[in-house]
Chains A and B, each alone.
Chain A
Amino acid sequence: MPRLPLGDWVDSGVDWLLAHMSWLFDAIKTVVEGMYDGINAALAAPEPLLLAGILAVIAWWLRGLVAGVLAFAGFLLIDSLDLWDRAMSTLALVLVATVIALVISIPLGIWAARSRTVSAVVRPALDLLQTMPSMVLLIPAILFFGLGTSAGVIATLIFALAPGVRMTELGIRQVDAELVEAAEAFGTSPRDTLLRVQLPLALPTIMAGVNQVIMLGLSMVVIAGMVGTGGLGGAVNEAIGQLDIGFGFEAGVGIVVLAIYLDRMTSALGTQISPLGRRAAAKARMAGGAKPWNYRPRPAFAVIGVVVLALVAGGMGIFGPSSGTKVNSATDVGKGKNITIGYIPWDEGIASTFLWKEVLEERGYKVTTTQYAAGPLYTGVATGQIDFQTDAWLPTTHAEYWKKYGKQLDDLGSWYGSTSLELTVPSYMKDVNTLADLKTHASEFGGRITGIEPSAGMMGLLKTKVLKEYGLQGSYDVVDGSTPAMLAELQRAYAKKQPIVVTLWSPHWAYSEYKLKKLKDPKNAWGKGDGVHTVARKGFAADNPDVGKWLRDFRMTEGQLTGLEAQIQKSGKGEEQAAVRSWLKQHPGLVDQLAPVT
């Protein structure tokens, strides 16, 4: 069979779209971000307790008193986990994606219900959108829309579109043909047939579709978090990246609360607005009798309640505390200029990123830091969405990224070196000291080397070169996975003192956390170590000559880096900048050294 260059076609298609259709993507981006900002501002403005109250009143109206109380409790839980702002931004993201999905999918579903041709074309297209792994669509989404909300919304949207279209089509097709014929027999126009007969009768099915759209949207939130949408999805990603089980669980619980709330509300809304559903509900209430927990405010009361709470909320927002940061005018080089730093959740990345965040803020810059996976991070810097990142392992580990994006990036030089890649075992593996020793202990290790992401540079090196040098190909399998999974596996085996060999690199916090042994590489198969480089978008150093110079001169010693990493590790999640501050206090003069003011 000849090799079909499908991938090349896709590549050139994407390039063509980027070159010729960017105005369209920009327009879409503007709309999406406008909607998101609006909704997010509205959700974030009121006091959490008030908004929780509003949401609870809505639940009371739609489902009854118990639902109202539970909703209130759920949102209080989110607030008490300190996840309120993240939850609201996730809610805004899902709402925007849902609204856009419905605006597209309901008319499309109606059209498909009325035309077999449209239906036949739409169906495979939806299959493609829904089953194509979302990560595959994520990178083009970044290229088209840049990092952040719009890429996240579009990725969510694409995934969530299908049930909206399908359920609308199904709902309309399910309407008894004799009813449609009856409408026509009385001279109803096609438009009125749709509005008076088909849509009202299809409404329960369509609302089930809306419900599915929202649920799928929420399930995409975590994936969307990888492109920097923040919110609960971002929180989950950060937690996964740093193996922070507790925080991950908290963020997950936040998503679950949102999911249950949205699910119950939309399904109740389905019965509220569909004439048939309203009748069934009224019948059920009659049967149940007038008990206090069955009481539900009438729509008018519910609206009044929501409006009053909303007005109070709005009023409180005006008098709410406004945040400001103090800047010493003598060292105010940045004068409030915005700088965005992206980072991979690796320890040296977090440490150096928050170090620079603190230093630059002291110099009067406004700094935003966002966590990404390596791929999106490089894409973001290359497209100019992110100003710089400090965790580029060059020339070896990140060689693939450099090959693709190097031309759009400025290398500001290495600030730490050299690093090393290695296979590592716990120090209780007394007989295994070099790579050559692995050969005789293959059965003890089960013939497994626990690896990280298959896309990582060191994995390629390990499989193609290192194993071969030491004659290990036959006796060991390299297990692909992820960094967090590898670390979790290491932690598990370490606790039980079981044999394990993992891929690891220095610097890494695991070396201070556990007693580990780097396997010696006498044949130098791993090659020379990388330097950790700072990489900026093209032109960043020219736009910000001061920062550019500071970053070029940035160096850290192993003692400094591990000390800072340990401080951050000790302070815990969310306290990175505080940890940097207290570490800087122990190293007076370092700020002036890193960022001299001339």
Chain B
Amino acid sequence: MFNLTLSPAQTEYIVKPGGNIVHSLTVTNNSNQNLVLTTSVRPWVPGTAEGAIDYRHAIPDPNIIFYLSNPDLKLGQAFNLPAYSKKQLVINAAVSQKSDQKDAYFTFFVSQDISTLDPNRTSQSLAEIGAHLLLAISHTQELPSQAQIGEFQIRPIIKDSLLTPIVFQAKIQNRSDHYFRSQGKITLTKNKKIIQTLDLFPETVLAHQQRSIRCHQPSLPAQSSPQPQTCRLSPPLWPGIYTATLALDSSLNGSSAAITFAVLPFSVFIPLLLAALAIIFTPRFLTRRRRLSP
């Protein structure tokens, strides 16, 4: 059995060129078996706007060197983690003076050691688990941010006041050289009155990448809704003209975007319309048919 926990799963650091970070990570063996493990670090690049990771297209940066500070362990060296025990791993990242001011993203892996496989046994599953390190290499602690809102749209096209929820979609584009957390809100107004506000969930938007927005659950205070959800407005809504404004936090130096849309009680209108048409045209149709029949 393999059962490992890594904590923390992701950590962000700001480091100067020529600087060094020391990061502590705890690996816990939750299983009842001793595990022989090794460590490694791999660079990555963002895979999708939803947070997927891509290792294939990542290029190693020779200006950043990782090593472990544990006295009994080097990076890549196998170590034994007894059942139900934990070990603290102290990772150092040394950034060269020559390094550009930019971001670099890495995963620190703890893997089962393949050399422990028994060649006389049948196939075996090996497992590895990773935690991310986001490094912002910068001469300043205040990372300059430049955000932009893209593809702000509202679904569905026909907005019914009774049945279908209204979903807000947008992408936060990071135009700067360093990551930031998306912060902002969608404000819904009708007749210049605020009907509802939706707080954006603070997603990590990596340098020169974009990230789809998600929101805190509107029914709960922001700190109690750790699970982001689609930014949506649930029915019923009063019919009328609404304006949705997506505004980012001023620290992100981003513009706002607004969309005006109409909400109408289509789910009431359409059946009534069909019924009215049926009442009007059915007798005429039947009369015409009677006339035509011999």
Do A and B come together as binding partners? no
Residues of A near any B CB (own CB < 8 A): none
Residues of B near any A CB (own CB < 8 A): none
